Structure 1
């Protein structure tokens, strides 16, 4: 029974993320020969890799600084220092999150505690962050004054220093405010003009689906702020109750379901000197989605705005004197247009940098020039400040080696692309000037290694405090079937050929934005644990998943259900000739889109799948949000038949439920405000009406993340018990 230790460890370490350094900011080098003259790296990291650490606050994130030696300077290895400790700043008290901060963390899937986010000025000399709705700053310079609280109205959310470090802006009670870094001169920059209006915060759709987590931006000269005004009064209200606490009132949640009204989002510029306001103008009726904002010394502010159907988007430049906008580029696609991390952005010379689809490839553009071709599938811009543009990319359709599951860092300019990361794996980077922080994960080792490079030379390594997993994942990465579906296969650690065929567990996400087949160790740990319970586990990234090609991702347009299930079946059947798979005992499990896929598989293809664990599924696409659902399926009023065809449940009941009945375990958090529990309740009701036995596991007080330790641990154990019962293995 020693295998029980992994679920406990997995839960206590927050999936082995505690203690991993992250949120890196690189400070530019300073003149002179003092300590830290070579610049510094700022980041957050928990002091221990487990919540159960005996040290106080072992699971809470601290703010750290790594001072770098000047170029060519010899001496001892750079040392890390603590810039801010939440335990000390709160005098050991537990952190109390205001509602707006809880919502921000839920949207970003942030389950950790302490200093989980911070912002710095241009010199990275001052950091600002919020704890328990209070505003703190930290002096990051060597020998600086440490961290201190600024007394301001709260609760504080998303504080950000001005580029020159003289001010700190923040949001509180729907207003955007600013205070001098000394703690004096606090003032309101923009105040709400209605009960459902906020300034400086990202609305639900932006944070959940667009990747825009912020709602205000400093001017490069620190004299003005661009701020988003969000009016949620047009958005319908849904109610999230707490059935385990009938004495508590339900919570109203503004939720823009497919086909319904979105929040009204606009943008204004405010000048600190005189408090004047200039409203930014664009055709918001035609382009209601404010997808991204960028403002740097490279030029005037950039906006990326989209039509509601996301088939047209415009890159706009803002005239800060008048608020008028002019179009720099227009993109159109007959299916949909994607958004990419780090874009749009400007080079120091002012060129617009973006990622777009051209001739079947996903390429990098700077101004009018296309800098990459079909050999790379560009996924994110990491830095455009030079030299060259730093990007994350996978192998493209024209690459000689598909490099299944790998993502590398490249430096791109007019002469081509140069790979910065070397070993096979999953890589990301942050850069400023000639200093790059490169984080690398690989299949043959647990965790992430973070190195600091000056030029191409490693000058430091940032330590990880993450725990070493109690098991070793052994995925075999390959491509399955005629479609060359990326797949990972995991067998029990002690499996021998003489053991014979194994019951099969498919463990996919299988949908947009969710790549599971990656060349890194830790993402496969849970699948390996399930394999060690006696299963052959298959993880398959079918059409619609990211990282391969635009055509691959867009193959699910209008047809989630058939395409996603078909690719899981193809992967399973093609791998049966290569691995010891018992095709008479096949189960599938998944969460969110994976839960939706698991339900579809068991209901529509019971000839292939014999049991399903269905976690937090979207069962009626009309109940999911506008930006996501309408991108893939269109508007429900215009294409109701598409929504019906892709639903697990319709108003009439189960959709396309074939015989025979297959056992199903449905799991859902009652406090989920992303995929509401209504989805699972409607599925259970339809199954009951159809006379199909099933199990429902309601998770009281749990959201879409399931961060609670006991919940996370027992979910794994209960799923294994169900799967063994359902497949006749007990």
Structure 2
């Protein structure tokens, strides 16, 4: 592996917040989207040339020689004009939190002879044997191009239509086109992309002769308007947003042949309105997973291709919610049906309806399925994630060794292992061929200039995994006690306390400004089983805040000589922003200042799939929504500790109405507070200057408020 110290020296006189924004949180220059060819001879990946250039290119690593080659240099292909994105592509990238440019994703045929990707709305194909890349004469601004498994054609979406073109550029035509003003084919609807971790809207047949294609109609969805008040001449952007308790998009799935004939895939849409997963492997009929609106019931259905009818092959239910998992459901070789389901409070690998992995091994995702078993990522200790092979007979073999957060892929005798650890903020990407290490794929990220120093503890009776970060110059017991900054996400299905140094870079920078920073993963976070993550049902405000208090008390107890529990601040973004504002509103006796970034303040304004999973339907449980809202009970709040609320004015996920309504309610209750609007900023803040100044303003606010 190329040393970051050799390739990416710290940029002199540039602050850490600016480096973080410039490097997209130190992801630039790092290999991503790894694909191994069927014979294991090549590993394909995307990487930017260094840690500050956002334009990614397609690369290949030779598993025989250990050499790298750039197959498609996006900068060269784009030329002097640079990259221009359509509004639809910008929205799609916002859903996936993608801020990079150039080649950000690609698809390949089964043999990995052809790769396809989008640049500036054009479809490009690259021959992997020669590295020759060419733009195809496609129509409109192309989105999500995908090569068919046989390598003959590329499908892509443009103007709501799904089109197909030959890899040689011949015969570009629509196989299905919009049949309504708010209809789109081949794309994932808003809640699928934002909350289901499903960013695709079409799937090729293994023989490349047909496709399963999503059709969604947003006509039933309420129209919201996202405006930029900093530019009053610019009209608001119409945005269909399915808020909790309101109508979702009408979603259906169709079998579409290349001649344009199609048949709808049949299931009970009234019972199962959500299309959550689609899988089409050579080992059986296509599989779809559909889910009820309350998310307590899901059905895995096999599709009969001749008629479009479906057959139930696996019913899934839970009295709280059914979890959506990555890589399943799917058919493995031999026609085995593979799912991940709860069993003995453990996320367990199931084969044909029977559990095969052991209790206590929390399976997080299926990486691949083979003749002998599955490759998965899994945890026993939630702070670590390992790659493991689980045989169909239940035998488990760990494929990674050493603490850290591991991922990877393998095929044809070649395995790629990616390790994030506490030893370095940079991941190590190792390639092994037939069990022997061939080499490493170079990473060239920016150097943040320091290594986080992290201490762990397990707080309270529930052993809440907690990370504690002091200033690197701190002399324990020999200096004045430090104010504490709680820095949570703290919400469901998101984890921050991991054995990965990169996860604590920002926390270390904050700590170095004169604080003890605490990151705690309370109930609702993944990796600890069904009872743990479902404890938050109906009670965001109670459970997640209580767990932050428990973690704080444990830190104060363990490091009493070093921290001052009479000076406690809290800062976070998104759910962490909600939790931060909640902390000073509900527990001002514990929290003495807060910075709330892009907070959800009224859950009736957040989307259906996320909100109703945890709080139910607002018409059925209005009292639950009232209890978890930040807008209620403000007259009962005494002296409000200093509170700064930060929000991007063009955020289309957590719209700025959340902050404006909270500010109005606080003003009506006579509670002083500060609001910092970020003009032209969405739910992400990738702009360097904005990110730098915002970070410093937040720290300065907490320093003043806590007398640091």
TM-score by length of structure 2 reads 0.96
2:9 pairs with 1:14: no
Match of 1:66 among 43, 61, 68: 61
CA contact (8 A) 1:347 1:386 kept: yes
2:159 pairs with 1:173: yes
Offset, 1:387: 4.1
Match of 1:605 among 575, 587, 597: 587
Go from structure 1 to structure 2 and tell me whether the alpha carbon gap of 1:40 and 1:685 turns closer, same or farther (over 3 Å shift): same
Partner of 2:3: none
Match of 2:478 among 498, 502, 506: 498
CA contact (8 A) 1:168 1:178 kept: yes
Partner of 2:79: 91
- Residues in 1 aligned to 2:109 and 2:515: alpha-carbon distance in whole angstroms: 51
Q: Deviations over 1:691-712 (max 9, x none)?
A: 1111111111111111111111
Partner of 2:115: 127
Q: Which stretch of structure 1 is more off in the superposition, 297-306 or 3-12?
A: 3-12
- Residues in 2 aligned to 1:8 and 1:707: alpha-carbon distance in whole angstroms: 10
2:298 pairs with 1:296: no
Partner of 2:4: none
- Residues in 2 aligned to 1:560 and 1:135: alpha-carbon distance in whole angstroms: 44
- Residues in 1 aligned to 2:288 and 2:590: alpha-carbon distance in whole angstroms: 48
Q: How does 1:531-610 map to 2 (within 5 A)?
A: 531-579=511-559, 580-610=562-592
Offset, 1:386: 4.3
Go from structure 1 to structure 2 and tell me whether the alpha carbon gap of 1:561 and 1:600 turns closer, same or farther (over 3 Å shift): same
Structure 1 alignment gaps of length 5 or more: 30-37, 51-57, 70-76, 396-402
Match of 1:407 among 385, 400, 406: 385
Offset, 1:404: 4.9
Offset, 1:145: 5.0
Q: CA RMSD in A?
A: 1.3
Greater relative contact order structure (CA < 8 Å, 6+ sep): 2
- Residues in 2 aligned to 1:231 and 1:151: alpha-carbon distance in whole angstroms: 28
| 4+ runs deviating over 4 angstroms | 654-657
Go from structure 1 to structure 2 and tell me whether the alpha carbon gap of 1:292 and 1:655 turns closer, same or farther (over 3 Å shift): farther
Any idea what SS the aligned residue of 1:723 has?
A: helix
Offset, 1:500: 3.2
Offset, 1:62: 0.6
CA contact (8 A) 1:64 1:84 kept: yes
- Residues in 2 aligned to 1:296 and 1:237: alpha-carbon distance in whole angstroms: 38
- Residues in 2 aligned to 1:360 and 1:48: alpha-carbon distance in whole angstroms: 43
CA contact (8 A) 1:163 1:220 kept: yes
2:248 pairs with 1:284: no
- Residues in 1 aligned to 2:597 and 2:38: alpha-carbon distance in whole angstroms: 45
Structure 2 alignment gaps of length 5 or more: 1-11
Partner of 2:41: 39
2:36 pairs with 1:48: no
- Residues in 1 aligned to 2:406 and 2:140: alpha-carbon distance in whole angstroms: 38
Q: Deviations over 1:609-646 (max 9, x none)?
A: 00000000000000000000000000000000000000
2:626 pairs with 1:644: yes
Offset, 1:659: 2.0
Any idea what SS the aligned residue of 2:536 has?
A: coil
- Residues in 2 aligned to 1:3 and 1:96: alpha-carbon distance in whole angstroms: 31
- Residues in 1 aligned to 2:345 and 2:620: alpha-carbon distance in whole angstroms: 28
Match of 1:511 among 476, 482, 491: 491
Partner of 1:466: 445
Q: How many residues align?
A: 693
CA contact (8 A) 2:176 2:260 kept: no
Q: How does 1:437-456 map to 2 (within 5 A)?
A: 437-456=416-435
Partner of 2:9: none
Any idea what SS the aligned residue of 2:662 has?
A: helix
Q: Which stretch of structure 1 is more off in the superposition, 640-649 or 407-416?
A: 407-416
Q: How does 1:77-88 map to 2 (within 5 A)?
A: 77-88=65-76
CA contact (8 A) 1:385 1:432 kept: no
Any idea what SS the aligned residue of 1:594 has?
A: helix
- Residues in 2 aligned to 1:448 and 1:183: alpha-carbon distance in whole angstroms: 38
- Residues in 1 aligned to 2:592 and 2:273: alpha-carbon distance in whole angstroms: 45
- Residues in 1 aligned to 2:221 and 2:410: alpha-carbon distance in whole angstroms: 40
2:179 pairs with 1:193: yes
Offset, 1:92: 2.5
- Residues in 2 aligned to 1:631 and 1:369: alpha-carbon distance in whole angstroms: 26
Go from structure 1 to structure 2 and tell me whether the alpha carbon gap of 1:724 and 1:154 turns closer, same or farther (over 3 Å shift): same
Q: How does 1:294-693 map to 2 (within 5 A)?
A: 294-395=279-380, 403-413=381-391, 414-496=393-475, 497-579=477-559, 580-650=562-632, 654-655=633-634, 658-693=637-672
